[in-house]
Amino acid sequence: MIPFEWELAGLNDSNGNLGRPVPSGHVLVPGKICLADEAISWSLEGPTRAQEVSRTTLNEFVSLWASDAKSILRFAKKWGILAMRIANTTPRTRYIPCGEAMTQGSDPVGAWKYFSRRAFAVLNIAAALRQGKLGDLADWAVIAAVDNKVETMKTCDETHVYGMGWHLYPIGTSPNDGIQRGKSTLAKELTLWLTCWRARRLQGVSDFAVDCNPQSGRLELKIDYSGYLFAALALQLALTLVGTDNIYSCSGCAAPYVREIKRPKPGWGNYCPTCSDNGIAQKRAAEAYRARKADAKRLGAEGIPLEEIARQLGMSIPRVRKWLDPLQSTSKMNSTRRKKE
């Protein structure tokens, strides 16, 4: 259930989904995942799979804190695991997500609920700040010490054992100053989500990776979660709060860019402002048009039925018919005009 305040603040789309679409983001789902002793136990034994991150991933995650362990298990089997590892044991055991070079592990149910509740609180706070309010103190208490009492700070230190730490409640000298301090704290919170799992890592510290597009043969820069669910959730949360609707990889220069106009249709090229201004988009569109027309004629010469050619090329039957027999199409149009006259 998406809170009305999130919708009012524009944190979700028209379908109620949180998160934002990003190019080629996948996480690793282990082949073996089960519930054992209040933890999600997992192992790379068996068939693992790469799961593409959906706009519903964050939606489902932020409700886990109020769910039972079996619901968390179902989520893990669908979207992947936290890969929690022990960071240190002194003076108390502390964990960190996205453990490196792990082939098996155990993610405490408490860790799942901790991160889910924290993300839920962050969204509530962001929605309030967009409306010129600081938000509910109960939500701030999830990520910050709400007063300067020693007992409160001690409780925070004992509670936040999953690698993210805590903040101080933003007390301003005026209402506007309090809102500004709240926004600054929220920015620090997002930075924690994006960076807390990278500590002392040797690999997978970049948000991007270079891949070769098998269709175009071009090298493309793409979002890379290093296979970790937490990294995907962190980026989705950040994109939601900063209001960035779409990040795409340019079909022209292959660089990632924020798309401020409507999203391209599936399978269609998309171009950054620079490539669009340089006419790359128009040039590529013309080349693609000529290529489809040539393919239609080739398939027609091979005896492929008209309907099948249209289906393969993703074009309308009338358009393909005109490509294959322009003289006949012109004759039919003239005949139709004469009948109308």
Q: What is the pLDDT of residues 189-248, one digit of tens each?
A: 999 999 888 876 666 565 677 777 777 777 776 777 888 999 999 988 988 887 654 556
Q: Cα 127 vs. chain centroid, distance in angstroms?
A: 19
* Greater model confidence, 321 or 273: 321
Predicted confidence at residue 74, as pLDDT, reads 96
Predicted confidence at residue 267, as pLDDT, reads 61
Domain segments of the chain: what residues?
Answer: 4-198, 281-340
Residue in the block written with tokens 């983001």: 25
Predicted confidence at residue 315, as pLDDT, reads 85
Of 118, 115, 126, 117, nearest in space to 7 by CA: 126
Neighbours of 127 (CB within 10 A): 23
Q: What angle do CA 82, 41, 120 make, to 5 degrees?
A: 35
Task: Give just the sign of the alpha carbon dihedral 52, 54, 60, 61.
Answer: positive
Using CA atoms, how far apart are residues 339 and 341, in angstroms rounded to an integer?
A: 5
Q: Could you tell me the two tokens for 267?
A: 């399978």
Whether the pTM exceeds 0.85: the reply is no
Query: Average pLDDT of 89-111?
Result: 90
Q: Is residue 283 scored above 70 in pLDDT?
A: yes
